[in-house]
Chain A
Amino acid sequence: MTELTIAQEAPAAPEPSWEERYAGPSREICRRTLAELARRDPRIMCVDSDVGGLETLFADLPEQYVNVGIAEANLIGMAAGMAASGLVPFAHTLSGFAAARACEQIKVDVAGNDLPVRIIATHGGLSAGHYGPTHHAVDDIGILRLLPNLTVLVPADAVEAEAALIAAADHPGPVFLRLGRSETPLVHRGPVDFRIGRALTLADGDDVTLIATGPHPVLMARRAAETLAAEGIGARVLNMHTIKPLDEEAVLRAAAETGGIVTVEDHLVTGGLGGAVCEVVAARGGCPVRRIGVPDRFSDRVGGELDLLRHAGVTPERIAAEARLLTGAAV
């Protein structure tokens, strides 16, 4: 009773601004969203592999939280066992450890059985930065998009990450949600119409198309489009937040309506978004494609995420330069 009185007397908290609401890393937004969803849906299980922080967030939902420790194979295998019995497990680990270390469990136990396991994978791409190459995940998309049934989502900011997590919760099959590590600038200043398998058009243009996935690549593509616009080149920007199933229609429209495609990703140039786009374009409708991503070699460069991306040649300047080549504009 006393508490109620205090609550009534407290001044109403001011509505947080859009920026305040989506401040912080995408992975934090996803965790909070998951905890909210879990309160409404008792089938949801947060399955942790000692990633840190989840134990606190789920402290008041002990029956919906299980920590398997640093054991990724068991993380995915147990999640599959739970999903087959009617629970909706969200398995948390780092992207590289999920895609490479627990790849077989994802293949055989999760995707192979089309079970509703949601894998929440942080530290995607080069977002682990100075941690070094053991913690980089620049092959995760390539590995996982090979697996039938598995939906692969790569949201570009915290707004999309929240929408992607909600979409994943309702999705009938398995989902891999690739998130970064640190906070990245917002791509969206308002609600987003996030639909699995539907690319988001961030800018219109008919001269060239920039297709990007992941937070920095999407921001860089948009910046490159602004540079090109000032030069009179109309660049369409597609945010390909779903790698699988790929929005082939959007890719083919870009191939037919613009002079070429530049793909941008924080992943190896082989096998990821660039590879997926090339497969569609080569098979179903030709246009030149230039791929920007991490070169096909191991790197031991030490640096933060943006430094590593720059070193890999993933920059707005390079995107603009490749786009100019495709439009025949003077470089």
Chain B
Amino acid sequence: MQSEPESLDEVSLIWMTGIGCNGCTLAMLEASDPGIDDLIFGNVPDAPRVTLIHPELSMESGAQYLGLLERAASGTSAPFVLVLEGALPVDLPNPGGVSHVITAAAGEVTESPSTFSPPTLALWIERLAARAEAVIAIGSCASWGGIPASSGSALHVQSLSDLLGHHYVSRGGLPVVNIPGCAPPGQVFIETLIYVFLHLKQFVPLDLDEERRPRWLYRHNVYPLPPRVEYPPAVGFDLSQRPTVGCPVPVTGWVRNIGGCTKVGGSCIGCTERDFVDRFLALARPDPALN
């Protein structure tokens, strides 16, 4: 079911955070030309004017913020795109605590905190996803589970696709869009978001690969490798024997075409891939004895 394209002049961007490090939020803020501010002010041709609803950054707080989520979840507000940063905890790992439940972005007055059992993040996501024009997982935690899903972490987490199911389709006719990377460059997020808007307005269909990543951004293969060191590593690297991962950084750099991991002598740890800590970190160690 596609919504009417003409209703997409004003769109809210509802950004939720699970278990993560906030790095994807920073990456999003770093992008410019266009940046999130250009979308907020409606400066991007053919993209809607965006209202950012973010736990740290939006203007509303407390009950007002909760009201925004509630209206979006019940379908009485402007159309919206849902973004998740961070992994979703499966079991609440904190007995008696109040974390991993959304109460308010800033604060709420209540009679007694002990009777206070607000809905969990996963519950909110499920309600919002049912109404969202599109749903985006930013970063490897939301796309695959990331660091919290690594061996040893003692956490049981799931990705956004795990929660919504792999057959999920948004109101705008899209599956969960993955923008993996730890973190992905912010520009990659903004660019994908704009293409999601163009898809929703039925201008250009969104081209996703089999991992539901924007195909044109993740089609470059890079080799997980150690950083550049000025002493001889114990072994040479036979690239034909090495795995590759898809990554936008060889083309985009990190920000405004500056930097970017192996482009400037850093390591590639394969951070856009599933379970990168367990699968690729060993290929990126600077200690010659271990390579």
Do these two chains really belong together in a complex? no
